[in-house]
Chain A
Amino acid sequence: MPAILIRRLATAIPTLFAVVLLSFLLMRVAPGSPFDSERPLDPAIRAAMERAYGLDQPLPVQLGRYLANIATGDFGPSLVYKDFTVSKLIAQGLPVSLQLGGLALLLAALLGVGGGIAGALRPGGWIDRSVSVASSLAVALPSFVTGPVLALVFALWLAWLPVSGLGGPSSLVLPVIALALPVAGAVARLTRTGLAAALAQDHVRTARARGIAPVRVIVRHALPPALIPVVSYLGPAAAGLLTGAVVIETVFGLPGLGRYFVQGALNRDYPLVMGVVILYAGLILLFNLIADLLYGWLDPRVRG
């Protein structure tokens, strides 16, 4: 197990560096500058502003300075939200996104794995068929459709829950559901197909022949190998849920990271965009690492 950890870390660090480098270059070669506005800026003022933000230096110098700064957790000042540093914006947005994403991840995993198992208990039965239809729909319904519809029904018509904004746990219910549904659908389908494959395997037949009860055969003998594709899907998906529920945050007016990112990108706020990208890449790598550890737990053969 430590071997896998070390090897993963050994590739994760260069990967993270590549992400930083790539996004840095991308932002710099981009046409247009954050100081473009309706009327052309006086060249002198523009030069002064660029000097103030260090944009007049040669690229390698800018990169070096940037790397040194992010190593200390300083992603620089935001170009658009004056008076705010990127780190501060992230610190504001991240808790909202983490709450939203964490709850959605939990809900999606429970619904999805539960649905997949329920379907596999009686292949072709009515539960199996309804889970299959429901999960296809859940996967196909974009969250920007479910979000507004949920808001319309539960917030506007029934007035059970708030429409938008952040205020207490009730304001998270609808966004969490809207965010979790497509993921839950995908997890249910992966679990179901994984279980179908696992149930056809020799060791499951052996377990059945030993007189072990059907539910126990599924949960103890068939489920762990069936969960491997689920884990590899959930690794990156979890990182996505936790940081960038871009659309859901927009629909429900939640001040999370995703909204900062979209606004940052639209306004060419380089430091903000890069800060979020790097954070996100770090999270993806972290979740891939967790997924790798889970593989080892689900299938001891990969531990070597």
Chain B
Amino acid sequence: MRAAAVTLAAIALLALLLPLVLPWGHADIDWNAVRAPAFTPGHPLGTDSVGRDLLVRVAVGTRITLAVALAAALVALVVGVAWGAVAGWIGGRVDEAMMRVVDALYALPFMFVVIVLMVVFGRSVLLVFLGIGAVEWLTMARVVRAQVMTLKQRPFVLASEAAGARGPAILTRHILPNTAAAAIAYLMLTVPQVVMVESFLSFLGLGVQEPLTSLGILVHDGADDMDIAPLALAVPCFVLVALVVALNRIGEGLRERMAA
């Protein structure tokens, strides 16, 4: 888990710092070096088919992918925790109704919904993460609800009622702090999923729009030329896979630590 955290931090730092250091911007075109191979002076990874520096594009793409993932995961966290906590705490018919809504949304084809949202409301980075977050909160709501339901049965909640605490106080002071571990662990597992969905959408041309870039777009572009410029595929792929693996490891590590 420590190795995973270091990897994640290194990727995030590089993504943040590299564009500040490098002479090229992600949209700048070097007319003297279109389709430059790797290790060309000034372009360590070469350039793409219109002469944009690949290294800076990978860094910016990672930034965007991470930003979208974080924002979407936060949307999922806020909506999911609120929904799950209320359903689990009130219970009974309210719970039944709220969870039926979640069930119904689960039955919506997830990928298709995001695609439809993108098509319907136009393509913008903001929408990409709102759309993804809007779908990703469902599982978070279930996780939090299950936690709240079991915590509610614990004697310390009853003891708190006997100690004169009112419902809202019990929920905010005893129950929610105790669900935080589960919610954060699950959040860590949501982020890689969001990274994947974002790159899927970008791959299909429905996510982030040119000249801005993301890991998904870079992989897509790289796949077109993989037989002549393998690094253009390999580097963004490597970053994407390393990110997802590291996030998964951290999330599972947190979950195991919590279970222990």
Contacts and interface: CB of A to CB of B under 8 A. Distances in A.
Interface of A: 11, 14-16, 18-19, 22-23, 26-27, 29-31, 136-137, 139-142, 144-145, 148-149, 152, 156, 236, 239-240, 243-244, 246-247, 250-251, 261-262, 265-266, 268, 273, 276-277, 280-281, 284-285, 288
B241 A250 contact: no
B115 A261 contact: yes
A246 B223 contact: no
Contacts of A30: 119-121
Contact of A15 (B107, B110, B203): B107
Contact of B111 (A11, A14, A244, A268): A244
Of A152, A236, A265, the most chain B CB neighbours within 10 A belong to A265
Given A136-B248, A140-B244, A262-B204, A284 B107 contact: yes
A29 B248 CA distance: 38
B112 A244 contact: yes
Given A148-B233, A280-B112, A250 B204 contact: yes
Contacts of A23: 108, 116
Contacts of B249: 136
A285 B243 CA distance: 33
B223 A144 contact: yes
Contacts of A15: 100, 103-104, 107
B226 A22 contact: no
Nearest to B119: A265
A139 B242 CA distance: 11
Given A136-B245, A244-B111, A266 B119 contact: yes
Nearest to A18: B104
B248 A139 contact: yes
Contacts of B226: 148-149, 152
B107 A19 contact: yes
B7 to A, nearest CB: 12
A142 B109 contact: no
7 contacts: A136-B249, A137-B245, A141-B241, A236-B106, A239-B109, A240-B110, A281-B107
B192 interface: yes
B188 interface: no
B119 A244 contact: no
A251 B116 CA distance: 20
B223 A284 contact: no
Nearest to A146: B237
List of 6 A-B pairs having minimum Cβ-Cβ separation, nearest first: A140-B244, A30-B120, A280-B109, A148-B223, A15-B104, A140-B241
B220 interface: yes
A66 B77 CA distance: 37
Nearest to B230: A152
